[in-house]
């Protein structure tokens, strides 16, 4: 790359206080893994490499642990608790910087991980002529204006429209004053609009398609490197004991013995759950639902499987099919196979034709042959959701 010319000094605020739940799962998207590390870490490292100092990270109060783990080992960060809206969060970051005001500040969304240095350079250069600057892209599609009935009511002139990205750059004193003086709607569209409300000029500079915002589960899949499909395998065993209920494949089966375990001990669903988790590299069932945790005592295993399927979807994968084999001498699985197949399909959100359930014996050999327990083996195929 050669030697890079130093950029003018600037501070940066990375806004990461949103819930980011449109990707699915319980962890905000900015702390999910993308291309080998947490989403937020990519832009933080790019800003630091470009010279951002100080660098403020605005996070939700209950996400501080996620943020510190995602950014572990990066020195010089200031963590600030965000507010109820993005605008409140930006204001919190600005007020923190106001204690030692910088000359320039970049405000960036953590959901845009691929941040080219060239865009930062263009933004900082534009601040020599205007108090604000934003990266934009041309609109190449025709634009229709819709009415309440979702009918076309008119068209917009795309020649005058631009797609706005972040980071947005500002002279610090101008954007701080604009935020302090804001008396518009609760949710400003972005910081450039806050500045414009105070009659501040905003320059437009060339953005970059690499600054794509990560919004949905499929955005986490790197189409260039992510495999089109992945396969997981699961295996589980539980002991048969008198006085226990026998749950298999989410179905209660009449039998003189049941499976013993911390949860309902549904060996079939446990094996499928592990197969789904294995397919997307999310550990095993014990990692997510440890038997040492009393809240899972007697829990229905369908909850475990639904959680695993949700994680797969959050990684950008859909369930293609599952092949389950139950290994036992008794009970006979055949009479219960249709009900089990329907329940597994429901839990996984697939058609019954994507679920195969088989049973075999071990010719009375081993613990299954002696009727001491039941084993299950599952294989799951997931495919990239595109």
How high is the pLDDT of residue 20? 47
- Eight-class DSSP state of 136: E
Query: Where does the pLDDT of residue 225 fall: very low under 50, low under 70, confident under 90, or very high at 90 and above?
Result: low
Helices 337-348, 302-314: axis angle to 10 degrees equals 40
Dist. CA 214–CA 22, nearest whole Å: 10
Do 238 and 164 lie in one domain? The reply is no
Q: For residue 141, give both structure tokens.
A: 């599609």
41-60: average pLDDT: 95
> Which residue shows structure tokens 């139950």?
326
Residue 269's nearest CA partner among 290, 287, 246, 292 is 246
**Residue predicted with more confidence, 136 or 34:** 136
Are residues 214 and 250 located together in one domain of the fold?
no
Peptide bond into 241 cis (omega under 30): no
Q: For residue 37, what pLDDT is reported?
A: 83
Q: Which CATH number do you get for residue 164?
A: 3.90.550.10
pLDDT at 336 exceeding the cut of 60: yes
For residues 324-338, give the mean pLDDT.
95
Give dist(CA 89, CA 56) in Å, integer: 11
pLDDT tens figures, 241-275: 999 999 999 999 999 999 998 889 999 999 999 99
Res 50 pLDDT > 90: yes
Check whether 280 has a pLDDT greater than 60: yes
* Domain-terminating residue out of 178, 194, 218: 218
Residues 134, 199 share a domain: yes
The DSSP bridge partners found for residue 143 are 156
Q: Are residues 146 and 205 in the same domain?
A: yes
Q: Are 254 and 175 within one domain?
A: no
Tell me whether residue 5 is in a domain: no
The pLDDT assigned to 157 comes to: 85
Q: Per-residue confidence at 222, pLDDT binned at 50, 70, 90?
A: low
User: What's the mean per-residue pLDDT of the chain?
Assistant: 89
- Can you point out the beta strands (E) in the chain? 11-16, 33-34, 37-38, 55-59, 77-81, 104-109, 132-138, 143-146, 152-156, 162-164, 168-171, 202-206, 229-242, 247-248, 251-252, 257-260, 317-327, 355-360, 373-384
Domain that holds residue 121: 11-218
Q: For residue 372, what pLDDT is reported? A: 94
| Residue that terminates a domain, selected from 164, 199, 218 | 218
Number of domains in the chain: 2
pTM higher than 0.75, yes or no?
no
Per-residue pLDDT for 359 more than 50? yes
Whether residues 43 and 162 share a domain: the answer is yes
Whether residue 90 is found in the same domain as residue 198: yes
Q: What's the pLDDT score for residue 140?
A: 80
* Residue percentage of the chain with pLDDT more than 90: 66
21: confidence class by pLDDT, cuts 50, 70, 90? very low
Q: Are 197 and 262 in a shared domain?
A: no
pLDDT of residue 385: 64
327 with 269, same domain? yes
Q: Please, which residues bridge with residue 214 across strands? A: none
Segment 375-382 mean pLDDT: 97
């Amino acid at each position: 790359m050669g030697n890079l010319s130093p950029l003018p000094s600037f501070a940066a605020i990375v806004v990461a206080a949103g819930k980011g739940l449109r990707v699915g799962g319980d962890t905000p998207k900015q702390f999910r893994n993308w291309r080998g590390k947490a989403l937020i870490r990519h832009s933080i490292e790019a800003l630091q490499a470009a010279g951002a100092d100080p660098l403020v990270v605005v996070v939700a109060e209950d996400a501080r642990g996620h943020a510190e783990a995602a950014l572990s080992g990066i020195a010089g960060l200031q963590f600030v608790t965000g507010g109820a809206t993005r605008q409140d969060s930006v204001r919190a970051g600005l007020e923190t910087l106001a204690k030692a005001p910088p000359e320039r500040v970049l405000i960036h969304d953590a959901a845009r991980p691929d941040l080219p240095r060239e865009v930062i350079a263009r933004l900082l250069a534009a601040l020599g002529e205007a108090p604000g600057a934003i990266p934009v892209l041309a609109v190449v599609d025709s634009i229709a204006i819709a009415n309440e009935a979702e009918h076309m009511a008119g068209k917009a002139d795309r020649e005058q429209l631009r797609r706005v990205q972040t980071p947005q750059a500002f002279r610090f004193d101008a954007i701080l004053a604009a935020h302090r003086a804001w008396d518009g709607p609760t949710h400003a569209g972005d910081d450039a609009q806050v500045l414009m409300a105070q009659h501040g000029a905003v320059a437009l500079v060339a953005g970059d398609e690499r600054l794509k915002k990560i919004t949905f589960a499929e955005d986490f899949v790197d189409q260039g490197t992510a495999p089109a499909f992945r396969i997981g395998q699961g295996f589980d065993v539980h002991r048969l004991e008198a006085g226990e209920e026998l749950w298999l494949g989410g179905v209660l089966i009449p039998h003189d013995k049941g499976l013993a375990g911390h949860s309902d001990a549904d060996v079939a669903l446990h094996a499928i759950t592990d197969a789904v988790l294995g397919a997307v590299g999310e550990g095993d069932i014990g990692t997510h639902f440890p038997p040492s945790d009393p809240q899972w005592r007697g829990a229905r295993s369908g909850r475990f499987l639904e959680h695993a399927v949700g994680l797969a979807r959050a990684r950008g994968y859909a369930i293609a099919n599952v092949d389950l084999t139950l290994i036992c001498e008794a009970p006979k699985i055949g009479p219960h196979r249709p009900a089990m197949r329907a329940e597994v399909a429901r839990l996984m959100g697939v058609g019954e034709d994507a679920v195969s359930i088989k049973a075999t014996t071990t010719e009375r050999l081993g613990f299954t042959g002696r009727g001491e327990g039941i084993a299950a083996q599952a294989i799951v195929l997931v495919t990239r959701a595109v």
